[in-house]
Structure 1
Amino acid sequence: MRAAEGEVLHFSEDPHISRFVPHVAATARQPEAYVWAVDAARSPDYWFPRQCPRAMAWVTPTTTVDDRARVLGTSERVHAVEYTWLEAMRTVRLFAYRFSAEHFEPFGDAAHVATRTVRPLGPPEPVGDLFALHEAAGIELRVLTGLWPFWNTVIASSVGFSGIRLRNATPRLIP
């Protein structure tokens, strides 16, 4: 489930949204109101239940051979979740809303935003089996007791990375 050329996607567990109104998210780092979406390259970042914490890492042109082997193994891209989210991963009903990219502008290197109300191009599409999506995309999905050891390794390395909803992860253990 990825955006087609000229499109961006918004993923949601709500299949009944007819229009998207810009708003300031509770976790926003900026004061502007936006409608958020992603392009094809970043769609896999959202193949998860909305509140699921996840740590993601991938090969970049500057990733060292040692970091690749240590963090990613033989994979190009790794997504990690906690065991406590497995049932939600299996049972969530996730939907993708398609939008024309012309109504959005890039925001950073991972998102696209609209500053006005936008309507989807059609009804939302069921995303389907999240494990099958990862497998078909060649993304290794790791299930861990906790995300923090993996996350700490990732952010101290030369791999590309993103963490979403990390505030929902099992608390860090202080030795």
Structure 2
Amino acid sequence: MRPDPGQVLHFSEDPTIERFVPHVAPTSALAEAYVWAVGPERCPDYWFPRQCPRAMAWRDPGTTDADAERIIGAGCGDRVHAVEYGWLRAIMEVRLYAYRLPAEPFEPIGEHAHAVVARVPVEPLGPAEPVGDLLELHERAGIQLRLLDRLRPFWDEVTSSTLGFSGIRLRNARR
């Protein structure tokens, strides 16, 4: 699931949101209130239950072949998402929804523009849409989904490599 041109997406397990109001996320290091969303390239980062810890890595222009083969795997595509075994059932059972939002009030945030934010309330362009089977979404997008006992060793390898990467909800990972 990706946005159409002129749109961004917000993923949620709540299908009843009628208006997105800027707020300070409890886990945010930023003090300003925002409405958060993502563009097409970062949507796969959110094809998970909200609280699911995940480590993601992909081939960037500066990625070495050695790092890509070591971490992603030879012949395994350009992107890998890793989660812990304990989250598989939730990934298979969650009812995840996407809200299509107008792209106009949003602007990139962060050093690597991992998300877009709006400083004003935003109304969805329509009702929440069921995202569907998250494993199937990964398969159709050619994204390897890897199950691990613990994320930390994988995360340490990824962050010390030349791959692009993102980690979400890592505080929820097993110690």
Indicate whether the TM-score tops 0.5: yes
The one-letter code matched in structure 2 to 1:139 is I
The alpha-carbon deviation at position 43 of structure 1 amounts to: 0.2
CA deviations on 1:16-55 (whole Å, 9 max, x unpaired) are 0000010000011110000000000000000000000000
Match of 2:134 among 130, 135, 159: 130
| Runs of at least 5 residues in structure 1 that lack an aligned partner in the other structure | none
What secondary structure does 1:51 align onto? coil
TM-score by length of 1: 0.97
The whole-number CA distance in structure 2 between the counterparts of 1:12 and 1:101 is 18
| Runs of at least 5 residues in structure 2 that lack an aligned partner in the other structure | none
The whole-number CA distance in structure 2 between the counterparts of 1:64 and 1:31 is 37
After the TM superposition, which of the residue ranges 153-162 and 99-108 deviates more from structure 2? 99-108
The one-letter code matched in structure 2 to 1:49 is P
CA deviations on 1:121-171 (whole Å, 9 max, x unpaired) are 000100000000000000000000010111010001000000000000001
Q: How many residues align?
A: 171
The whole-number CA distance in structure 2 between the counterparts of 1:67 and 1:117 is 42
Q: How does 1:99-114 map to 2 (within 5 A)?
A: 99-108=101-110, 109-114=113-118
TM-score by length of 2: 0.97
- Identical amino acids, percent of aligned pairs: 64
The whole-number CA distance in structure 2 between the counterparts of 1:47 and 1:54 is 10
Two-structure CA RMSD over aligned residues (Å): 0.6
The alpha-carbon deviation at position 65 of structure 1 amounts to: 1.1
Segments ≥4 residues shifted beyond 4 Å: none
Q: How does 1:49-88 map to 2 (within 5 A)?
A: 49-73=49-73, 74=75, 75-88=77-90
Q: How does 1:88-99 map to 2 (within 5 A)?
A: 88-99=90-101
Aligned to 1:35: 35
